[in-house]
Amino acid sequence: MDRKEFLSLLGLTVGGGVAISCLGGCTKEDGATPGGNTGGSGGGSLDFTLDLNAAENAVLNNNGGFLVKNGVIVARTTGGVYIAVAAACTHQGTIIQYQGNNSRFFCPNHGSTFSESGSVLNGPASSDLKQYKTELSGKNLRVFA
Ligand code: FES
């Protein structure tokens, strides 16, 4: 019996090598969503809630406060409005900061600035930051696409 006949008996073809390579226990990571929490401009399914009573989120109880969570920078403006945009600078991916007194986001790497809605104000970045929605319910702040 040659190789082709042997494989045929097993119900496989010569091209079926990929299929049998996973018989030993390959697993599928069900929760994997490419780009979901990487801080990139993807992540259309992004949706999380911050408990503003929690110490780790307390900075958002102050105007001008901000934090980075799940690749998103969430800030409270000097006017008390919650805003959120992708945290990674569109130039080279550095995590940006919020400057409430200047009503803008700032990248400390090369100095790009972005409006509170994520639009480029000054380069070298040339692409806007993805903006996310926010919704405050009691002390729960939802951030979502
Ligand atoms: S990485 Fe932000 S300006 Fe270069």
CATH topology of domain 37-144: Rieske Iron-sulfur Protein (2.102.10)
- Pocket test of ligand 1: the residue of 91, 113, 121, 126 to mutate, having most ligand atoms within 8 Å of its CB, is 91
Token pair in block for residue 117: 């809605």
Q: Which residues line ligand 1 (CB under 6 A)?
A: 89, 91-92, 94, 107, 109-112, 124-125
Per-residue pLDDT of the chain (145 residues; tens, 9 = 90+): 555 454 344 444 444 433 434 343 443 333 333 334 444 444 458 999 999 999 999 999 999 999 999 999 999 999 999 999 999 999 999 999 999 999 999 999 999 999 999 999 999 999 999 999 999 999 999 999 9
The rounded distance, in Å, linking the Cα atoms of 61 and 73 is 15
Q: Where are the domains of the chain?
A: 37-144
Q: Would you say 76 and 63 are in contact if contact means Cβ atoms under 8 Å apart?
A: yes
Element (H, E) at 21: helix 17-21
The secondary structure of residue 110, as a DSSP letter, is: T
Q: Can the peptide bond before residue 34 be classed as cis, meaning omega within 30 degrees of 0?
A: no
Cβ neighbours for 5, distance < 8 A, ≥ 6 positions apart: none
Which atom of ligand 1 is the closest one to the Cα of 110? Answer: 3
